[in-house]
Structure 1
Protein backbone atom coordinates (compact mmCIF):
# COMPACT_ATOMS: atom_id res chain seq x y z
CA UNK A 1 0.00 0.00 0.00
CA UNK A 2 2.56 2.64 1.08
CA UNK A 3 5.04 1.54 -1.57
CA UNK A 4 2.54 2.55 -4.26
CA UNK A 5 2.31 6.08 -2.86
CA UNK A 6 4.82 8.82 -3.55
CA UNK A 7 6.34 10.67 -0.62
CA UNK A 8 6.69 14.36 -1.36
CA UNK A 9 8.19 15.40 1.99
CA UNK A 10 10.34 13.66 4.58
CA UNK A 11 10.72 15.78 7.73
CA UNK A 12 12.81 15.34 10.85
CA UNK A 13 11.38 16.15 14.29
CA UNK A 14 11.43 19.88 14.97
CA UNK A 15 11.01 20.97 11.37
CA UNK A 16 8.00 23.00 10.29
CA UNK A 17 5.02 20.65 9.99
CA UNK A 18 6.08 18.32 12.81
CA UNK A 19 5.59 20.43 15.95
CA UNK A 20 2.28 18.92 17.10
CA UNK A 21 3.63 15.43 16.53
CA UNK A 22 6.77 16.25 18.52
CA UNK A 23 4.52 17.37 21.39
CA UNK A 24 2.54 14.15 21.14
CA UNK A 25 5.35 11.58 20.65
CA UNK A 26 8.40 13.41 22.02
CA UNK A 27 11.73 11.60 21.69
CA UNK A 28 9.99 8.56 20.16
CA UNK A 29 9.32 10.46 16.91
CA UNK A 30 11.85 9.59 14.21
CA UNK A 31 10.36 11.21 11.09
CA UNK A 32 7.20 12.47 9.42
CA UNK A 33 6.38 11.72 5.80
CA UNK A 34 3.78 13.39 3.67
CA UNK A 35 2.49 11.11 0.90
CA UNK A 36 -0.15 11.23 -1.77
CA UNK A 37 -2.17 8.40 -3.21
CA UNK A 38 -2.95 9.13 -6.84
CA UNK A 39 -5.36 6.19 -7.08
CA UNK A 40 -7.64 7.38 -4.28
CA UNK A 41 -6.81 11.08 -4.64
CA UNK A 42 -5.88 11.60 -0.98
CA UNK A 43 -2.93 13.01 0.98
CA UNK A 44 -1.56 11.14 3.98
CA UNK A 45 0.70 12.08 6.86
CA UNK A 46 2.66 9.13 8.26
CA UNK A 47 4.90 9.04 11.31
CA UNK A 48 7.74 6.74 12.24
CA UNK A 49 8.04 6.24 15.99
CA UNK A 50 10.10 4.07 18.32
CA UNK A 51 7.82 1.59 20.08
CA UNK A 52 10.40 -0.67 21.73
CA UNK A 53 13.99 -0.25 22.81
CA UNK A 54 16.21 -3.01 24.20
CA UNK A 55 19.92 -3.39 24.73
CA UNK A 56 21.70 -5.35 22.04
CA UNK A 57 22.92 -8.83 22.79
CA UNK A 58 26.60 -9.38 23.40
CA UNK A 59 29.24 -8.89 20.75
CA UNK A 60 28.86 -10.70 17.44
CA UNK A 61 32.20 -12.42 17.76
CA UNK A 62 34.11 -13.91 20.67
CA UNK A 63 37.75 -13.03 21.21
CA UNK A 64 38.72 -16.54 20.11
CA UNK A 65 36.69 -16.50 16.85
CA UNK A 66 38.45 -16.38 13.51
CA UNK A 67 37.22 -13.51 11.36
CA UNK A 68 38.14 -12.49 7.82
CA UNK A 69 40.32 -9.39 7.51
CA UNK A 70 41.29 -7.72 4.25
CA UNK A 71 44.79 -6.31 4.03
CA UNK A 72 45.64 -4.13 1.06
CA UNK A 73 48.60 -5.19 -1.07
CA UNK A 74 50.53 -1.99 -0.34
CA UNK A 75 50.28 -2.43 3.46
CA UNK A 76 53.60 -4.28 3.60
CA UNK A 77 54.38 -3.51 7.24
CA UNK A 78 51.02 -4.90 8.38
CA UNK A 79 51.47 -7.95 6.14
CA UNK A 80 54.85 -8.67 7.75
CA UNK A 81 53.38 -8.36 11.26
CA UNK A 82 50.62 -10.80 10.33
CA UNK A 83 53.12 -13.28 8.89
CA UNK A 84 55.12 -13.16 12.13
CA UNK A 85 52.08 -14.22 14.16
CA UNK A 86 51.23 -16.87 11.53
CA UNK A 87 47.96 -15.31 10.48
CA UNK A 88 46.34 -16.96 7.48
Structure 2
Protein backbone atom coordinates (compact mmCIF):
# COMPACT_ATOMS: atom_id res chain seq x y z
CA UNK A 1 0.00 0.00 0.00
CA UNK A 2 1.39 3.40 -0.91
CA UNK A 3 1.91 6.10 1.71
CA UNK A 4 -0.85 8.18 0.13
CA UNK A 5 -3.35 5.30 0.19
CA UNK A 6 -2.39 4.53 3.79
CA UNK A 7 -2.97 8.17 4.75
CA UNK A 8 -6.41 8.16 3.07
CA UNK A 9 -7.36 4.99 4.96
CA UNK A 10 -6.22 6.55 8.25
CA UNK A 11 -8.22 9.74 7.56
CA UNK A 12 -11.34 7.70 6.80
CA UNK A 13 -11.03 5.65 9.98
CA UNK A 14 -10.55 8.83 12.03
CA UNK A 15 -13.65 10.30 10.40
CA UNK A 16 -15.82 7.44 11.66
CA UNK A 17 -14.33 7.28 15.19
CA UNK A 18 -17.30 9.05 16.88
CA UNK A 19 -19.66 6.40 15.47
CA UNK A 20 -17.61 3.27 16.25
CA UNK A 21 -19.12 2.56 19.69
CA UNK A 22 -22.72 3.25 18.67
CA UNK A 23 -25.31 0.53 17.99
CA UNK A 24 -25.57 -1.00 14.50
CA UNK A 25 -28.76 0.94 13.78
CA UNK A 26 -26.96 4.25 14.33
CA UNK A 27 -24.09 3.12 12.10
CA UNK A 28 -26.56 2.16 9.38
CA UNK A 29 -28.25 5.56 9.58
CA UNK A 30 -24.84 7.28 9.41
CA UNK A 31 -23.86 5.25 6.33
CA UNK A 32 -27.18 6.04 4.65
CA UNK A 33 -26.64 9.75 5.32
CA UNK A 34 -23.11 9.40 3.95
CA UNK A 35 -24.62 8.25 0.63
CA UNK A 36 -27.32 10.95 0.57
CA UNK A 37 -27.00 14.67 1.22
CA UNK A 38 -29.97 14.99 3.56
CA UNK A 39 -32.91 12.84 4.53
CA UNK A 40 -35.98 13.01 6.74
CA UNK A 41 -36.78 10.39 9.37
CA UNK A 42 -39.34 8.85 7.03
CA UNK A 43 -36.82 8.65 4.18
CA UNK A 44 -34.25 7.10 6.52
CA UNK A 45 -36.80 4.52 7.67
CA UNK A 46 -37.65 3.62 4.07
CA UNK A 47 -34.00 3.40 3.01
CA UNK A 48 -32.82 1.34 5.99
CA UNK A 49 -35.99 -0.69 6.65
CA UNK A 50 -35.77 0.33 10.32
CA UNK A 51 -38.78 1.53 12.33
CA UNK A 52 -39.25 5.26 12.82
CA UNK A 53 -38.72 4.76 16.56
CA UNK A 54 -35.34 3.12 15.89
CA UNK A 55 -34.47 5.94 13.49
CA UNK A 56 -35.30 8.54 16.17
CA UNK A 57 -33.08 6.76 18.69
CA UNK A 58 -30.25 6.37 16.18
CA UNK A 59 -30.42 10.03 15.15
CA UNK A 60 -30.40 11.12 18.80
CA UNK A 61 -27.28 9.08 19.47
CA UNK A 62 -25.60 10.40 16.33
CA UNK A 63 -26.46 14.00 17.29
CA UNK A 64 -25.06 13.41 20.80
CA UNK A 65 -21.63 12.54 19.36
CA UNK A 66 -21.75 15.34 16.79
CA UNK A 67 -22.04 13.03 13.78
CA UNK A 68 -25.39 14.34 12.52
CA UNK A 69 -26.92 17.79 12.23
CA UNK A 70 -30.60 18.54 11.82
CA UNK A 71 -32.53 21.47 10.50
CA UNK A 72 -36.13 22.25 9.64
CA UNK A 73 -37.23 21.39 6.12
CA UNK A 74 -38.13 24.42 4.00
CA UNK A 75 -40.70 22.36 2.10
CA UNK A 76 -42.47 21.08 5.22
CA UNK A 77 -41.70 22.82 8.51
CA UNK A 78 -43.04 19.81 10.43
CA UNK A 79 -40.10 17.71 9.25
CA UNK A 80 -36.42 17.69 10.13
CA UNK A 81 -33.70 17.11 7.56
CA UNK A 82 -30.64 15.22 8.74
CA UNK A 83 -27.14 15.51 7.33
CA UNK A 84 -23.94 13.72 8.23
CA UNK A 85 -21.38 16.10 9.73
CA UNK A 86 -18.34 13.80 9.83
Q: TM-score, normalised by structure 2?
A: 0.23
From the two aligned structures, give the one with the greater strand fraction.
1
| TM-score, scaled relative to structure 1 | 0.22
Q: Which has the higher helix share?
A: 2
| Structure of higher CA gyration radius | 1
